[in-house]
């Protein structure tokens, strides 16, 4: 069984252009994501799914130098990009991770995959975001290629094409789905890179952690507890701002 982690990333973010290659603790943000994904014990394949835009040539060049497989596809229809990327590696199971999550936790990735594989029934979709109880930035979604293909074929709304999975989780009558939760609700923590304030948060966090790329969620929480100014640096932003804007356009 091929379990492929697909990391969506591009240089053309409207809120923070070029964020994918911005430096955090001496390495690009996307490198932190890739390094953490590589530590998943259950995934068998991974790739960075970016766009065919010229501005993403630098990201593709970085991926080649870093030894990270890369796929190029549609910029705005990310659902199509995921479908084609998954099809290119003949994935049976797709794991969605975004390139703006430098602290994505490989143990959380494996927990969601494990729930998908060993659930009390056959699931089409498993996540840790419905409802969110993990920090914003540790989001993981796991779904069958069959479900992805169905969404790719049927989804019509911008929000369903730009954000990959809404068609699936909005249709529980079509897809068996469940979620995992954190033992403690940590959803008030913002660990995603989507604004200049987020970048400051990560850069300051890196100053308090010598090996940020290896830090566990528990270690990061301890650092934040000991440095309470850190979460105030980017607390003005809400979760899923991009998706909310897509809904307005719908």
Query: b/e for 202-234, b at 16 or more Cβ within 10 A?
Result: beebbeeeeebbebebeebeebbeeeeebbebb
Q: CATH number, domain at 135?
A: 3.90.550.10
Instruction: Report the distance separating Cα 144 and Cα 151, nearest Å.
Output: 11
Residue 250: pLDDT band (50, 70, 90) is low
Instruction: Report the distance separating Cα 173 and Cα 132, nearest Å.
Output: 21
**Sequence-ordered list of residues with C-beta below 8 angstroms from that of 183, at least 6 positions apart, any chain:** none
Residue 142: pLDDT band (50, 70, 90) is very high
- What residue numbers bound the domain in which 19 lies? 3-249
Residue 238: pLDDT band (50, 70, 90) is confident
pLDDT in tens, 23-58: 999 999 999 999 999 999 999 999 999 999 999 999
DSSP character for 146?
H
pLDDT in tens, 55-80: 999 999 999 999 999 999 999 999 99
The mean pLDDT of the chain is 94
Q: What value does the mean pLDDT take over residues 218-229?
A: 96
* pLDDT cut 90: percent of the chain above it: 89
Per-residue pLDDT for 100 more than 90? yes
More confident residue, 213 or 145: 145
pLDDT at 246: 52
Name the nearest CA neighbour of 115 among 130, 101, 99.
130
- Do 45 and 89 touch, CB atoms closer than 8 A? yes
pLDDT at 245: 58
Which two structure tokens, joined as six digits, stand for 30?
């996307």
Which two structure tokens, joined as six digits, stand for 158?
């911008």
DSSP character for 155?
-
Q: What are the CA-CA distances from residue 60 to residues 34, 64, 66, 218 (Å)?
A: 13, 6, 10, 32
Instruction: Report the distance separating Cα 244 and Cα 234, nearest Å.
Output: 18
Query: ω before 88 within 30° of 0 (cis)?
Result: no
Number of structural domains (the chain) is 1
Per-residue pLDDT for 227 more than 60? yes
Evaluate the CA torsion angle 124, 39, 191, 18 in order and state its sign. negative
- Do 162 and 100 touch, CB atoms closer than 8 A? no
Per-residue pLDDT for 247 more than 60? no
pLDDT at 188: 95
Instruction: Report the distance separating Cα 68 and Cα 246, nearest Å.
Output: 30
Name the nearest CA neighbour of 187 among 147, 141, 113, 129.
129
More confident residue, 148 or 13: 148
Per-residue pLDDT for 141 more than 80? yes
pLDDT at 249: 58
């Amino acid at each position: 069984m091929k379990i492929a982690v697909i990391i969506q990333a591009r240089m053309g973010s409207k809120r923070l252009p070029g964020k994918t290659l911005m430096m955090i603790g001496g390495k690009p943000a996307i490198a932190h994501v890739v390094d953490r994904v590589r530590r998943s014990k259950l995934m068998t394949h991974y790739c960075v799914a970016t766009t065919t835009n010229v501005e993403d040539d630098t990201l593709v060049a970085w991926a080649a130098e870093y030894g990270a497989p890369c796929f190029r596809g549609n910029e705005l229809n990310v659902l199509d990009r995921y479908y084609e990327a998954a099809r290119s590696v003949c994935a049976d199971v797709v794991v969605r991770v975004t390139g703006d999550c430098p602290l994505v936790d490989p143990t959380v990735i494996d927990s969601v995959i494990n729930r998908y594989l060993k659930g009390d029934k056959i699931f089409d979709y498993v996540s840790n975001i419905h409802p969110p109880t993990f920090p914003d930035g540790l989001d993981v979604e796991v779904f069958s290629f069959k479900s992805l293909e169905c969404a790719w074929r049927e989804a019509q709304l911008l929000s369903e094409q730009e954000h990959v999975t809404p068609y699936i989780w909005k249709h529980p009558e079509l897809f068996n789905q469940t979620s995992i939760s954190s033992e403690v609700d940590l959803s008030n923590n913002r660990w995603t890179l989507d604004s200049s304030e987020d970048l400051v948060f990560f850069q300051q966090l890196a100053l308090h952690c010598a090996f940020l790329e290896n830090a566990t969620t528990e270690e990061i929480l301890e650092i934040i507890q000991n440095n309470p100014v850190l979460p105030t640096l980017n607390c003005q932003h809400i979760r899923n701002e991009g998706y909310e804007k897509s809904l307005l356009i719908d």
